[in-house]
Chain A
C-alpha cells in the first residue's frame, strides 16, 4: 500500500497520520505539498489530515479545497483510488466536492476535544474490514466545526445507500441523541462516496494507535488500508 499524505499550511496532524500508516503498513507515506500538481506515481491511498488549513479562514477547508493538488486527488478518486479525510481533511473533501454536505459550527458553539465512541456502520469497506459491523470503537474528537449538515434528499440518499461510515455512540454503543457531541444530522461522524473509496470522518483514529496514549481502536482503520495492497496484488 503506497500512501501519500497531503500538507497544506496550517495542518498539524500529518505526523500522526504518517506514523499510523507506517505502523500499519511498514511503509512510510510520502508527504505531498499542496502546490504540487501530481501525486507520486503508484499512490494507492491519499490521506488529507487534520489541523487548521489556512487558519480556517473563509470557511473550514474552503481554501485548501481549491489548491492545485486537489485536482490530482479528484482524478485519483475518479479512477477508484482511495482517499481518507480526517477532521479538517473531511471538511476539505466536502468543500472540494468529493463528498456531499458541509461541516457547520458545533451545535453548542464549543470546540470539543475529548474521547468519543463510534459505531462502525459497516465492516465491508477498504477502510473498515478489520472491524466488525456494529463494533463500538473508542477514538477521540477535536473540532469546532463538526456538525454534519446536508439537505434532506442527500441525507436520505446517504442512509439508503449505506454510505454512513461511523455514528457517534456512547460507551455502551448506543447512538441515541445524548451521544451526539456536535449536532450532526443522524449522529453522522463519517461518510463514504458512492463507491466507498472516499471516506471523510471528523474523529481522529490516528490518535488511538498506541496503548500508551489511551487505546488502539484506531489501528483497525489503518490496518484495513494496509491490507489493500495484498487485496490488489
Chain B
C-alpha cells in the first residue's frame, strides 16, 4: 500500500525559504504568484493490510518524527 504524507508550516510561522523562493519567482518575471510556503512530501510504502491501519501507523509516524507539531501541520493520503 502506498501513502503520501505532506508536512507544511502552520499559518503565522515565518518561512524564510518560502520568502526567498517567492522573490526568485518574481525575479524570473513569473507573474501572478501572491506568496509561497515551502513544505515537505514523504512517499511511503506500507505493509499495512487496510487503510485504517495505515492511517493509524502514519499518524504515529507524523506525531513522533515526520512533523514538528509546534510549527508544522501534516496531511495523510493513503492509496
Report A's interface with B, CB cutoff 8 A. Answer: 58-59, 62-63, 66, 95, 100-102, 104-109, 147, 149-151, 183
Contact = CB atoms under 8 A, between A and B. Distances in A.
B70 A66 contact: no
Contact of B71 (A58, A66, A109, A149): A149
26 contacts: A58-B65, A58-B66, A62-B65, A66-B64, A66-B65, A95-B68, A100-B70, A102-B68, A102-B70, A102-B71, A104-B13, A104-B14, A104-B16, A104-B71, A105-B16, A105-B17, A107-B14, A107-B16, A108-B16, A109-B17, A109-B20, A147-B16, A149-B71, A151-B70, A183-B14, A183-B16
Nearest to B13: A149
Interface residues of B, number: 11
Given A104-B14, A109-B20, A150 B70 contact: yes
Interface string B19-30: 010000000000
A226 B78 CA distance: 53
Contacts, number: 36
Per CB-CB distance, the 7 closest pairs between chain A and chain B, nearest first, are A105-B16, A102-B70, A109-B16, A102-B71, A109-B20, A59-B68, A102-B68
Interface of B: 13-14, 16-17, 20, 64-66, 68, 70-71
Interface of B (DSSP majority class): helix
Nearest to A105: B16
A205 B16 CA distance: 27
A62 B17 contact: no
B52 to A, nearest CB: 25
Contacts of A149: 13-14, 71
Nearest to A185: B14
